[in-house]
Structure 1
Amino acid sequence: MTDGLFRQDAYLQQATGQVLSHAERGVVLDQSLFYPNGGGQPGDRGTLNWDGGSMIVVNTLKEDGDDIALVPDEGATLPPIGSQVTQSLDWDQRLRHMRMHTALHLLSVVIPLPVTGGQIGAQKSRLDFAMEEPPEDKQALEDALNALIARDLEVSERWITDAELDANPGLVKTMSVQPPKGAGRVRLMRIGIGDEQVDLQPCGGTHVRRTSEIGPVRFGKVEKKSRLNRRFSIHLAD
């Protein structure tokens, strides 16, 4: 079982680790700085360094059970099983994913409709909504999203039990992906504290600490994907 360091501190950029195995998908460590692809968020990239060698991590994926596999570049030399390595994150990519992820949570506040799909990217991200008619004022929605971002709301987490989530199905905004259950508890991401809370939903991904870190965003075009599905794309200003 790999301990996910990204769950403890999304801002951690370097950490040590011990190689447990060479799995089918990549190198498995006892603890992973790298976030594995899932929930619409891509896997992290970076490097591993050890005494006498280094390996580029081109992707991070979930392996069997709770293991996390660090995917090596083609032809790379793998660190020996049992060796100690230093993990270094591609921080620029991760931070953009964090900014995008929090922005998408806020987009689901601005457009309070069921979410039918989504994908996070460093350059462009999207949410699909169950929306039959096109938005009346796309610019007003973009302005509302940027106004939420500018409020510098605190982003935090809390945990509830599986039973509490079952009793509050309205917390789940996504129709296509259900939050992972079975471990006894579910992580909720909260944007805003107390009277300023604007969003609370299950999520296992990485986020910024405050909404102001996202910076201004702009909408791409709104695409009609089906009769009851419209796609909203967003871009970071920098």
Structure 2
Amino acid sequence: MTERVYLDEPDTPKLTATVLASRAAGIVLDRTVFYARGGGQPGDTGVLRWAGGETVIIDTVKGEGAEILHQPAPNAVPPPAGTIVEAVIDWQRRHALMRMHTTLHLLCSLIKGAAVTGGSIGAEKSRLDFDLPASPAKEAIEADLNALIAADHKVSIGWVDESVLDTDPGLVRTMSVQPPRGSGRLRLIRIGEADAPVDLQPCGGTHVSRTGEIGPMRVAKIENKGKQNRRIIIAPG
């Protein structure tokens, strides 16, 4: 099992870990700050360093059970099992993805009542697809989005019993991806105050600690992707 330190400490860029396994599919650590690809967010990249060597990590994915696989660059020499390594993510890339991911939650809060049919997070641009019959006004969405960013709302992580999905299914806005069940716990990302959140959703991704970290964003394009599907693409302003 790999302890996912990024779930509670998304601002931690590096840590010391022990190699549990070193296979062709990837390197397994006992704990990691590397986010494993999922939910529209790419896996982290970075480097594993140890006494006498280092391995560049070009992607991070989920393995069997609770394993996380750190995939090395082609022809890289991985550290053998038992090695103590320093695991360091590409922080500039990660922080860009964190800013984008939090922005998508803010965007979701502005498109009220519409289910999310798809999405993708990137450092340069990101998108959400909504089940909407007509496109919202681009200029209005951009202005409202930047107002929420500038308000510097707190972004917090909370854990609740997963049974909340049975009593409050409206927490889930996505049609294509459902929160994983079976662990007994559900991770919630709250933007804003507890008694009146701007947004509250189950999410396993990484986020900034305050919306003011995001910086200006622009709505690059709104596209029609079907009779009931509107794609909103955002990019740094």
CA distance in structure 1 between the aligned counterparts of 2:97 and 2:194, rounded to whole angstroms: 26
Alpha-carbon deviation of 1:77? 0.3
Alpha-carbon deviation of 1:184? 0.6
**What letter corresponds to residue 77 of structure 1 in structure 2?**
V
Alpha-carbon deviation of 1:196? 4.6
Deviations 1:54-81 (A, max 9, x none): 1000000000001000010000001011
CA distance in structure 1 between the aligned counterparts of 2:222 and 2:53, rounded to whole angstroms: 47
Instruction: Give the TM-score normalised by the residue count of structure 1.
Output: 0.97
1:217 aligns with 2:217: yes
Match of 2:208 in 1: 208
Deviations 1:35-54 (A, max 9, x none): 00001110000001111111
1:129 aligns with 2:130: yes
> Which is further off, 126-135 or 203-212?
126-135
User: Is 1:25–1:61's contact at 8 Å kept on the other side of the alignment?
Assistant: no
**What letter corresponds to residue 216 of structure 1 in structure 2?**
P
CA distance in structure 2 between the aligned counterparts of 1:164 and 1:194, rounded to whole angstroms: 16
Alpha-carbon deviation of 1:223? 1.3
Alpha-carbon deviation of 1:134? 2.0
**What letter corresponds to residue 7 of structure 1 in structure 2?**
L
TM alignment of 1:1-238, pairs within 5 A = 1-112=1-112, 113-135=114-136, 137-237=137-237
Can you give the 5+ residue segments of structure 2 that lack an aligned partner in the other structure? none
Alpha-carbon deviation of 1:24? 4.2
> Which is further off, 95-104 or 160-169?
160-169
User: Is 2:190–2:199's contact at 8 Å kept on the other side of the alignment?
Assistant: yes
User: Is 1:50–1:85's contact at 8 Å kept on the other side of the alignment?
Assistant: yes
User: Is 1:23–1:69's contact at 8 Å kept on the other side of the alignment?
Assistant: no
Deviations 1:118-146 (A, max 9, x none): 111000000000012122x2101110011
**What letter corresponds to residue 31 of structure 2 in structure 1?**
Q
User: Is 2:8–2:157's contact at 8 Å kept on the other side of the alignment?
Assistant: no
Query: Equivalent residue of 2:19, what SS?
Result: strand
CA distance in structure 1 between the aligned counterparts of 2:177 and 2:134, rounded to whole angstroms: 23
Alpha-carbon deviation of 1:194? 3.7
CA distance in structure 1 between the aligned counterparts of 2:125 and 2:14, rounded to whole angstroms: 26
**What letter corresponds to residue 151 of structure 1 in structure 2?**
A
Alpha-carbon deviation of 1:25? 2.1
CA distance in structure 2 between the aligned counterparts of 1:196 and 1:24, rounded to whole angstroms: 48
What's the C-alpha RMSD, in Å, of the aligned pairs? Answer: 1.0
CA distance in structure 1 between the aligned counterparts of 2:221 and 2:155, rounded to whole angstroms: 28
Alpha-carbon deviation of 1:164? 1.6
User: Is 1:153–1:212's contact at 8 Å kept on the other side of the alignment?
Assistant: yes
CA distance in structure 2 between the aligned counterparts of 1:195 and 1:2, rounded to whole angstroms: 34
**What letter corresponds to residue 210 of structure 2 in structure 1?**
R
CA distance in structure 1 between the aligned counterparts of 2:43 and 2:191, rounded to whole angstroms: 23
Instruction: Give the TM-score normalised by the residue count of structure 2.
Output: 0.97
Alpha-carbon deviation of 1:211? 0.4
**What letter corresponds to residue 138 of structure 1 in structure 2?**
K
Deviations 1:2-59 (A, max 9, x none): 0011112111111111111123421000011100000111000000111111100000
Identity, % of aligned positions = 51
**What letter corresponds to residue 129 of structure 2 in structure 1?**
D
